[in-house]
Amino acid sequence: MKNNYFIILLFTSFSFQCFSSENMVVKIAGKHYSFIQREQLLVNKDCKRKCIAFERTLKISKFKRKEEKQLFEMPIGSYVCKNILMGSSVLGVSSNKDMKAFCYFVEDNSMIELNSLAKYAEKFLNK
């Protein structure tokens, strides 16, 4: 009977974790940060209400990439982070050992994942 109770308890706690707002945990510079999905953008968990990463991203309007003489073209997420949002890129490692890149804002330590930023910003890019 105790085993059944344990299995039910384990299943219930796992089910609640599946529905939680926490989507990913990433280790950046030796610290662990939780990220949540917010309006199709992956932002750090502390960015639930007000943060620079989310607010600046929502203010993106039509833009055109300035041509830069480089050996390779900068990915759109990195370009938007650096040139439009005035953030800096940082790298982290997710719990399943995948490398993840984020746009970091020193003013409030908020972050947004670069792939979700790129998908969002792409609709504003004048080609």
Helix or strand (DSSP H, E) at 31: strand 31-38
* Residue 71 pLDDT: 53
Mean pLDDT by 10 residues, the chain (127 residues): 42 38 83 92 88 93 74 83 95 93 96 95 85
- This prediction's pTM: 0.75
CA proximity to 60, closest of 48, 44, 76: 76
